[in-house]
Amino acid sequence: MARGIARPCPGGCQLTDYTEREGDAPNTGDIRVPGSGFEEIDPEDMPIISFDSMAYNMGMIPQGTLVEKKFRFTNTGGSDLLISDVRGSCGCTVGKDWPKKPLKPGESGEVTVTFNSEGRNGKQEKTVSVIANTAPPTTVLALTGEVVAPPTPIQN
């Protein structure tokens, strides 16, 4: 099977070879991807990722500070939830940690996001996309805040 490609099969698709990043592939065995379009699915059978909060205000941030936020979520759907990737909107915002194994309905987890304010100044609005076997497949989390540069010393 080609890397990261799901192929059609009877009864839905099986995601069995996610290897976009070496050493970071979920250990899934075979997991059904109900939203693949190869069969009709009852929406109640879909996994649903429900975050406690989808936005975080970082407030005033001293320039050079790393801000870490854990976004807690629950699988409120009817089948196993698999997060395949967490992507930041730029290099300063990174999805650092998330469950790599499928979560059963009712199970909870956290997505850890880090914002690096080094070299930034002023108002910041960043997003992180959580990619999962949900419909739609992307859930967007937002971080906002204001980076404050250190005061410039006055020369005499």
In the predicted structure, residue 10 carries a pLDDT above the cut 70: no
- The pLDDT of residue 22: 47
Polymer length of the chain: 156
User: What domains, with CATH codes, occur in the chain?
Assistant: 46-148 (2.60.40.10)
pLDDT tier at 2 (50, 70, 90 boundaries)? very low
> Higher confidence at residue 1 or residue 142?
142
Cβ–Cβ under 8 Å, residues 106 and 75: yes
Digit-coded pLDDT (tens) for 12-64: 333 333 334 445 555 555 455 555 555 666 777 899 999 999 999 999 999 99
Instruction: Supply the pTM of this predicted model.
Output: 0.73
Q: How many helices (H) and strands (E) in the chain?
A: 0, 10
- Residue 51, strand partner residues: 73
Residue 112's pLDDT band, with cuts at 50, 70 and 90, is very high
Parallel, antiparallel, or unpaired for β 31-33 and 13-15?
Answer: antiparallel
pLDDT at 32 (0 to 100) = 54
pLDDT score, position 38: 58
pLDDT tens-place string over residues 57-109: 999 999 999 999 999 999 999 999 999 999 999 999 999 899 999 999 999 99
Supply the Cα-derived Rg of the chain in whole angstroms: 19
Q: Which residues pair with 24 in a beta bridge?
A: none
According to the model, what pLDDT value does residue 19 have? 39
